[in-house]
Chains A and B, each alone.
Chain A
Amino acid sequence: MNRNPRDLQRYNASERANHWIVGICFILLVLSGLAFFHPAFFPLVHLFGGGPWTRILHPYVGLVMMFFFIMMFFRFWRLNMIEKRDVEWLKNVNKMVDGNDHDMPEQGKYNGGQKVLFWGLVAGMLAITASGVFMWRAWWTPPITVVRIASVVHAAAGVWMIGLIIMHVYAAIWTRGTIRAMLYGTVTRAWAKQHHRGWYRKMTGDNS
């Protein structure tokens, strides 16, 4: 959508599609994974055609997610290198949470919180994929001690990632005007100047 031709493009179509594939996989993995996580969620297996189907599908969806997550990693990792101004931002994060982001340090395309989230998800993906491979009995039988450790790591990494994604989704809803960047790629100039002033300057050359 191009409501205002002067809107700034934040994500191109390929980046958006990549993000959505990972997002859809994540939702499927959370629903199917929670079914095995705790009995309270076992009825979720009915979304996938029953217990055996859920057990069969979960690891394949995981592989798809890993593949597209790696692609996304190579698209965005440079933009998520943590800099000095991010540390300043993180030190002031309580002001941000309090709802007053007007005197937060100036930020580039991503702020310190987004960068920490990025690396948190990278660590989570590594742990959850590696441990998942050891729990996947369809193809091999790893040593039992390894399977036991992997089971704990897999569950912990799952909780870690769900927690991070709750933050990620809430931040996108809370910061009005953000969701459209994920849907059709653009944000308003006012949005950019308020939340990512460094990026705004770079995109527009406007140094006011």
Chain B
Amino acid sequence: MSLQSLDIKRRSATTTPPPQVRSPQSGDVAKLIDVSKCIGCKACQTACMEWNDLRQEPGENHGVYDNPNDLTENAWTVMRFTEYENEDSGNLEWLIRKDGCMHCEDPGCLKACPSPGAIVQYTNGIVDFHEENCIGCGYCVTGCPFNVPRISKKDNKAYKCTLCSDRVAVGQEPACVKTCPTGAIVFGTKKAMKDHADERIADLKERGFAQAGLYDPAGVGGTHVMYVLHHADKPGLYAGLPKEPKISPMVALWKGMSKPLAVAALGVAAVGSLFHYITKGPNDVSKELEDEMERKDREALAAADADKENVR
């Protein structure tokens, strides 16, 4: 979404704090997706396309209900369908997870982004891409623990779910939430969503899903998109939802303290060279050698003249 209707808490490739005086007094926001209530109607996908003016070309059928098959720069959310044979209950379970940006509290994309202000996190917790600042390097893809950002082939900019930050900024819920016919997607303050999830989880446990629980992974500081899962002990069942997502240690190393330290070391090398020069002086040719060579030059010249004389 474009600049700037919400206060910014964190800004990519920026080492000084953004304005911080204002903060949402009612707390940050979250979207809660109750997988147990989802009927897989894809109304949320449609609402997302409508509100954001996106049209993904229908892909090919690969034998599953997913359409499109993956997130794209035009499809910021995709229903992922899994047929799970539960051996404990003997049931075939149709697990449907609405995939998209999780809006991590500690966003790997923002950490990796080299372009100032191309990725921001608002004070309400939403992580947003400001494509006008995006340079198309793909570092956000490298940084994301959930494989969410997609680079457009048309403009080489990165796109993903904005959590409808433009709607949220004016007090509306995201488009997918507004359209969901079963109430599987709800939106509010993070605290309210956790309270709501607790009720849902208690209900699911009563219905025999002993492992029901909330997906709000601590490894990325919690997320502003959370799931209620019937099998919270096995999130991988839901089309490979990572069990303990966190920013890859490679990305942490790449974007951590190592870089300022490396810059300092190079600076020391450059300035150290200057001070070496002015303390030790240049590595010059000795006067003795220069004199020797001047003498040899003269001798060579005299010999050449003598040769000419002889020829004549």
The answer to whether A binds B is: yes
Cα distance A190–B290 when bound, in Å? 6
Task: Say yes or no: A38 contacts B260, CB within 8 Å.
Answer: yes
Task: Say yes or no: B262 contacts A166, CB within 8 Å.
Answer: no
Task: Say yes or no: A39 contacts B250, CB within 8 Å.
Answer: no
A52-75 interface bits toward B, Cβ cutoff 8 Å, 1 = contact, 0 = none: 101100000000000000000000
Task: Say yes or no: A151 contacts B254, CB within 8 Å.
Answer: yes
Cα distance A193–B266 when bound, in Å? 33
Is the C-beta of A199 less than 8 angstroms from some C-beta in chain B?
no
Is the C-beta of B91 less than 8 angstroms from some C-beta in chain A?
no
Chain B residues within an 8 Å CB radius of A189 = 293, 296
Chain A residues within an 8 Å CB radius of B114 = 35-37, 39, 42
Chain B residues within an 8 Å CB radius of A174 = 273, 276-277, 282-283
Is the C-beta of A103 less than 8 angstroms from some C-beta in chain B?
no
Cα distance A191–B293 when bound, in Å? 10
Q: When the two chains form the complex, which single residue of A40, A51, A97, A190 contacts B135, counting CB atoms closer than 8 Å?
A: A51
Residue among A4, A40, A52, A191 facing the most chain B CB atoms (10 A cut-off): A52
Task: Say yes or no: B13 contacts A159, CB within 8 Å.
Answer: no
The segment from A18-26, A81-89, A122-130, A142-150 found at the interface with B is A142-150
Is the C-beta of B292 less than 8 angstroms from some C-beta in chain A?
yes
Is the C-beta of B259 less than 8 angstroms from some C-beta in chain A?
yes
A117-156 interface bits toward B, Cβ cutoff 8 Å, 1 = contact, 0 = none: 0000000000000000001010000001101110110010
Given the known interface contacts A52-B156, A155-B259, the answer about A176 and B282 at a Cβ–Cβ threshold of 8 Å is: yes
Is the C-beta of A163 less than 8 angstroms from some C-beta in chain B?
yes
Q: When the two chains form the complex, which single residue of A38, A137, A188 contacts B263, counting CB atoms closer than 8 Å?
A: A38
Chain B residues within an 8 Å CB radius of A190 = 285-286, 289-290, 292-293
B12-24 interface bits toward A, Cβ cutoff 8 Å, 1 = contact, 0 = none: 0111000000000
Task: Say yes or no: A55 contacts B285, CB within 8 Å.
Answer: no
Task: Say yes or no: B285 contacts A166, CB within 8 Å.
Answer: no
Is the C-beta of B123 less than 8 angstroms from some C-beta in chain A?
no
Task: Say yes or no: B15 contacts A170, CB within 8 Å.
Answer: no
Given the known interface contacts A52-B136, A55-B135, the answer about A147 and B142 at a Cβ–Cβ threshold of 8 Å is: yes
Task: Say yes or no: B273 contacts A99, CB within 8 Å.
Answer: no
Instruction: Report the minimal beta-carbon distance from A142 to chain B, rounded to whole angstroms.
Output: 10
Is the C-beta of A173 less than 8 angstroms from some C-beta in chain B?
yes
Cα distance A147–B273 when bound, in Å? 35
Instruction: Report the minimal beta-carbon distance from B184 to chain A, rounded to whole angstroms.
Output: 30
Interface size on B, residues (CB 8 A): 48
Instruction: Report the minimal beta-carbon distance from A108 to chain B, rounded to whole angstroms.
Output: 18
B264-283 interface bits toward A, Cβ cutoff 8 Å, 1 = contact, 0 = none: 01100110010011001111
Is the C-beta of A47 less than 8 angstroms from some C-beta in chain B?
no
Instruction: Report the minimal beta-carbon distance from B4 to chain A, rounded to whole angstroms.
Output: 19
Instruction: Report the minimal beta-carbon distance from B71 to chain A, rounded to whole angstroms.
Output: 13
Is the C-beta of B248 less than 8 angstroms from some C-beta in chain A?
yes
Main secondary structure of the interface of A (DSSP, over half): helix
Chain A residues within an 8 Å CB radius of B72 = none
Given the known interface contacts A52-B156, A189-B293, the answer about A99 and B269 at a Cβ–Cβ threshold of 8 Å is: no
Instruction: Report the minimal beta-carbon distance from B110 to chain A, rounded to whole angstroms.
Output: 12
Chain B residues within an 8 Å CB radius of A151 = 139, 142, 250-251, 254
Cα distance A43–B156 when bound, in Å? 21
Cα distance A118–B156 when bound, in Å? 38
Cα distance A144–B15 when bound, in Å? 27
Cα distance A194–B263 when bound, in Å? 35
Given the known interface contacts A51-B135, A55-B136, A151-B254, the answer about A144 and B263 at a Cβ–Cβ threshold of 8 Å is: no
Instruction: Report the minimal beta-carbon distance from A60 to chain B, rounded to whole angstroms.
Output: 14
Chain A residues within an 8 Å CB radius of B43 = none
A41, closest chain B residue (CB): B263
B30-42 interface bits toward A, Cβ cutoff 8 Å, 1 = contact, 0 = none: 0000000000000
Is the C-beta of B138 less than 8 angstroms from some C-beta in chain A?
yes
Is the C-beta of A162 less than 8 angstroms from some C-beta in chain B?
yes
Interface residues of A (CB under 8 A from B): 4, 6, 35-40, 42, 45, 50-52, 54-55, 97-99, 101-102, 135, 137, 144-145, 147-149, 151-152, 155, 159, 162-163, 166-167, 170, 173-177, 188-191, 193-195, 206
The 7 A-B pairs of least Cβ separation, nearest first, read: A51-B135, A99-B280, A148-B250, A170-B273, A39-B13, A137-B138, A36-B114
Additional A-B contact list (10), CB under 8 Å, known A99-B280, A137-B137, A189-B293: A38-B263, A40-B263, A101-B283, A137-B151, A152-B254, A159-B262, A167-B269, A167-B273, A170-B276, A176-B282
A-B contact list, 17 entries, CB within 8 Å: A6-B296, A37-B263, A38-B259, A40-B15, A54-B135, A137-B141, A148-B248, A151-B142, A152-B254, A159-B266, A163-B265, A163-B266, A167-B269, A167-B273, A174-B277, A193-B293, A194-B289
